[in-house]
Amino acid sequence: MKHKALRDQVVVITGASSGIGLATARMAAERGATVVLAARSADVLATVQAEIEAAGGRALAVPCDVGDRADVQAVADRAIAAFGGFDTWVNVAGLTIYGPLREVSDADNARLIQTNLWGTVFGSLVAVEHLRRRGGALINLGSVASDLAFPFQGMYVASKHAVKGFTDALRMELLAEDAPVSVTLVKPTSIDTPLPQRARNYMDREPMLPPPIYPPEEVANAILHAAVHPQRDIVVGGGGKLMVAGKEFAPGAYDLLAPAIIAMQKRGEDPRDPAGALHAPKDAGEVRGTQPGYVMRTSAYTRATLHPVAATAGLIGLGLAALTLAGVGTGKPGSSRGRGRSA
């Protein structure tokens, strides 16, 4: 299945006021797409809409709590009224909680599940009702936590496992009815966004993400690639893929890493804002976070999975070049040295 060129698409993005959602909205607009921005932070959305329009693009800001199905339906209705419909729907909105599972309140856990899981469910079901008639792409943001567990982010992990299961089941149902809708699950590794700073934090230290860390633009690029050239799953960050493979190979050994993983999620400073943005919008408007340490520039692994034919051709080319160099070094027939002697 192949969809319209991005410049001809209307793209709906939830969680568009911060992090990956904001990076995706800006990148989509730069590439010519019409963008519908959905998030709780109405003031930030209005600023982003103005920014896109000032650059000659088209955008529509729709304040929305994705945990409320009526709000999500309103986003679709506004997109249809303004632009005649939409071609791609991207569910990005999500938050996390840091702390031991036994300490987290039921209210905090329920709010996280309402946003991360039910927000994705509502967005997917509303989007598909439109897309099954029109055709297009549904893209859900999972995580390497869809395949791995991280201590001190237990409910976030549970929500991302659930998002994966829901997305896989929905894809199968759409295939069974031959609906013209592609379904992609994007699974980022640790990404340099404000997610830790906006998290509900029960720890005695400011939270952070375990390395390796990748830029949010790498996720945005993968999302927009899937809007035109659908793939079933896209892992962003080769480090995450290695962790998943290691856990599958030796799950018991991975479990023993718990103390190290907990330590890698704590910065050496007191918590700044333990309440975070879990229950109310706060500190939106930034793509990048304050993650300490090195942030990778790109992910060669992810780029290769997005363009497998080109990557394979490149590997074959490198192999042929290596063989040629080996021939030059040994003077075997076929090398420049060998041809020189036989001439």
Instruction: Tell me, yes or no, whether 178 and 320 share the same domain.
Output: no
Higher-confidence residue: 327 or 343?
Answer: 327
pLDDT in tens, 34-56: 999 999 999 999 999 999 999 99
Instruction: Tell me, yes or no, whether 201 and 317 share the same domain.
Output: no
Instruction: Tell me, yes or no, whether 46 and 180 share the same domain.
Output: yes
Domain that holds residue 175: 6-299
The full length of the chain comes to 343
Q: Report if residue 159 sits inside a domain.
A: yes
The CB-side HSE value for 297 (13 A sphere, CA atoms) comes to: 0
Q: Look at residue 335 in the predicted model and tell me its pLDDT.
A: 41
Instruction: Tell me, yes or no, whether 144 and 20 share the same domain.
Output: yes
pLDDT bin (cut points 50, 70, 90) of residue 284 is very high
What's the farthest any 2 CA atoms get from each other in the chain? Answer: 83
> SS3 of 187, please?
strand
What mean pLDDT do residues 265-274 have? 96
Q: Report if residue 324 sits inside a domain.
A: yes
Residue among 265, 199, 192 nearest 20 (CA): 192
pLDDT at 321 over 70: no
Amino acid identity, residue 204? D
Token code pair at residue 128: 């598909």
pLDDT at 330 over 90: no
Instruction: Tell me, yes or no, whether 291 and 322 share the same domain.
Output: no
Instruction: Tell me, yes or no, whether 214 and 280 share the same domain.
Output: yes
Q: Look at residue 329 in the predicted model and tell me its pLDDT.
A: 47
Which H helix or E strand runs over 27?
helix 19-30
Instruction: Tell me, yes or no, whether 102 and 248 share the same domain.
Output: yes
Which H helix or E strand runs over 326?
helix 308-330
Instruction: Tell me, yes or no, whether 51 and 149 share the same domain.
Output: yes
- Rounded to a whole number, what is the distance in angstroms from the first to the last CA of the chain? 53
Q: Look at residue 318 in the predicted model and tell me its pLDDT.
A: 40
What mean pLDDT, rounded, does the chain reach?
A: 91
Instruction: Give dist(CA 227, CA 106) in Å, integer.
Output: 36
pLDDT at 315 over 50: no
Q: At what angle do helices 42-54 and 19-30 cross, to 10 degrees?
A: 20
Is residue 147 within 8 Å of 187, Cβ to Cβ? Answer: yes
Q: Report if residue 1 sits inside a domain.
A: no
User: Which range (2-16, 76-90, 127-141, 302-316) has the least confidence?
Assistant: 302-316
User: Which range (65-69, 206-210, 228-232, 312-316) has the least confidence?
Assistant: 312-316
What mean pLDDT do residues 322-331 have? 49
Instruction: Tell me, yes or no, whether 237 and 183 share the same domain.
Output: yes
Q: Report if residue 158 sits inside a domain.
A: yes
pLDDT in tens, 167-201: 999 999 999 999 999 999 999 999 999 999 999 99
Q: Write the CA distances from 121 to 51, 163, 167, 181, integer angstroms.
A: 30, 8, 9, 16
Q: Look at residue 313 in the predicted model and tell me its pLDDT.
A: 45
What mean pLDDT do residues 85-106 have? 98
Is residue 286 within 8 Å of 44, Cβ to Cβ? Answer: no
Q: Report if residue 179 sits inside a domain.
A: yes
Residue among 127, 119, 206 nearest 163 (CA): 119
CATH number of the domain bearing residue 103 = 3.40.50.720
Instruction: Tell me, yes or no, whether 338 and 223 share the same domain.
Output: no
Instruction: Tell me, yes or no, whether 219 and 294 share the same domain.
Output: yes
CA 302 from centre of chain: 12
Instruction: Tell me, yes or no, whether 205 and 335 share the same domain.
Output: no
Q: Report if residue 176 sits inside a domain.
A: yes
E strand segments, 28-171: 34-39, 59-63, 88-91, 97-98, 136-141
- What are the φ/ψ torsions at residue 75 (nearest 5 degrees)? -60, -50
Number of domains the chain contains: 2
Residue ranges of alpha helices (H) inside 151-307 are 154-176, 216-228, 238-249, 251-255, 258-263, 300-306
Residue among 161, 264, 258 nearest 207 (CA): 264
CA torsion 309-311-317-321 (nearest 10°) is: -170
Is residue 141 within 8 Å of 186, Cβ to Cβ? Answer: yes
Q: Report if residue 12 sits inside a domain.
A: yes
**Which residues are the active-site residues?**
156
Higher-confidence residue: 282 or 337?
Answer: 282
pLDDT in tens, 96-128: 999 999 999 999 999 999 999 999 999 999 999
pLDDT bin (cut points 50, 70, 90) of residue 342 is very low
